[in-house]
Amino acid sequence: MGAYLVKRFLLMFPTLLGVALVTFLLIRVIPGDVVELRYSGDRGAVSQEVIDQERARIGLDQPVWKQLGTWLIGMAKLDFGTSMWTGAPIWDEIRLRFALSLQVAIMATIVAVLLALPLGVLAALKQDTWIDYAVRIFSIAGLAVPSFWLGIMFILVLLIVFKWLPPMVYTPFWVDPWANMQQLIWPALAVGYRYSAVATRMTRSAMLEVLREDYIRTARAKGLWQSLLLRRHALKNAMLPVMTVVGVEFAFLIGGLVVTEQVFNLNGLGLLFVQAVSHRDYTLIQALVMLVAGIFIVMNFLLDVAFAWLDPRVRYA
């Protein structure tokens, strides 16, 4: 187990480095840079001299490999630098928005798991009955309905039927939990539906697989209660693949809420990313991508560790 963990741990670094390189090079291919964009409003009224000075000030005059070196060294020290657009430290730009996106992702996960586990298990137990068909249609629809449109529909129904709109200004949870919930429950539900669909389908297929195993038949044959059999023998073993999809979706959700944030006017990481791209704010884009990809890579590592711990077949393979 030790050797496996070490190998798996070390494998994270080439991937992280790859993400860093790809991001660094990709964004420099986007036409225009932050200085050009900032002065573009003045329509050539700014002299080339000023532009050059500004570029030198934020280090854009350096050769690309040198910029890359500075950035990588900074990151190794967990220093992401300052935003090229606002000049504020990156961490100050990200902090509040990260809290918001994280909270929506956590709430969506709760919604998804609460829906997926009972529905998935039920569908598997009643395979090929109308219950199974209903659950499957409900979950395939969850994959089909765009979360951002579902969000628009929520707002529409709240507005027309209940004559009420969720608050548009973000209140942190620790300031006013009630106001915070009133605002964030809707995006969490909109995203959670899709998320639950993915998890329901996985729960169903994993349960179906497990229910065909010999040890389940044995447990049934010796007359074990259905509920105990389900909880102790079947669900426990079916949980591994479900855990994986929930974990992976959660990691992606933190940075991938872009469109839903737009609908609900939420100032989260996704919206920040769109702004950063349109401002060509290289340092901010880099930091955001590294954050989101880093969460995903670490999450995968943790899932693999959990797998190896829970399932001996993995660690001896």
Partner 1 sequence: MSELVASLDVPSRSSRWIGACRDFIGRRPLGAIGAGVIVLMFVAALAAPLIAPYDPVAVDFAAMLAPPSAEHWLGTDAFGRDVLSRLIYGSQTALVVGFGASLLGATIGALIGVASAYFGGRIDLFLQRIMDVLLSFPLIILALALVAILGNSIPNLIIAIMVPMIPRCALVIRSSALSIREMPYVDAARAAGFGHSRIILRHMLPNVMASYLVMLTAFLGQAILLEASLSFLGLGVQEPLPAWGLMLRGAAVEFAETAPWMAIFPGVAISLAVFAFNLFGDSLRDALDPRLRTQ
* Residue 250 sits in the site that holds partner 1 (CB under 8 A): no
Q: Tell me the sheet residues that pair with 89.
A: 82
String marking each residue 36-75 x if it binds partner 1 according to CB under 8 A: ----------------------------------------
Among 201, 235, 266, 268, which residue interacts with partner 1 (rule: CB under 8 A)?
201
Among 159, 167, 172, 302, which residue interacts with partner 1 (rule: CB under 8 A)?
159
* Residue 3 sits in the site that holds partner 1 (CB under 8 A): no
* Residue 27 sits in the site that holds partner 1 (CB under 8 A): yes
Cα distance between residue 114 and residue 95, in whole Å: 29
Q: Return the structure tokens found at 139.
A: 């979950």
Q: Of the listed pieces 83-91, 94-102, 210-218, 270-278, which binds partner 1 according to CB under 8 A?
A: 270-278
Q: Return the structure tokens found at 149.
A: 């449109």
Among 202, 210, 230, 308, which residue interacts with partner 1 (rule: CB under 8 A)?
202
Q: Of the listed pieces 39-47, 70-78, 144-152, 232-240, which binds partner 1 according to CB under 8 A?
A: 144-152
> Count residues contacting partner 1 (CB under 8 A)?
51
3-state secondary structure of 83: coil
Q: Tell me the sheet residues that pair with 82.
A: 89
Rg (CA), the chain: 24
Among 6, 72, 95, 146, which residue interacts with partner 1 (rule: CB under 8 A)?
146
How distant, in Å, are the alpha carbons of 199, 220, 256, 280 from that of 243? 9, 26, 19, 37
Please give the backbone phi and psi of residue 89, each rounded to the nearest 5 degrees, phi first: -60, 140
Contacts of range 130-137, beta carbons closer than 8 Å, 24 or more positions apart = 132/204, 135/200, 135/204, 136/201, 136/204
Nearest to 205 by CA among 261, 132, 290, 155: 132
Among 10, 29, 168, 221, which residue interacts with partner 1 (rule: CB under 8 A)?
29
Q: How many CA atoms lie within 13 A of 197 on its CB side?
A: 18
* Residue 289 sits in the site that holds partner 1 (CB under 8 A): yes
- Residue ranges binding partner 1 (CB under 8 A): 14-15, 18-19, 22-23, 26-27, 29-30, 133, 136-137, 140-141, 143-146, 148-150, 152-153, 155-156, 159-160, 198, 201-202, 205, 241, 252, 255-256, 258-259, 262-263, 270, 273-274, 277-278, 285, 289, 292-293, 296-297
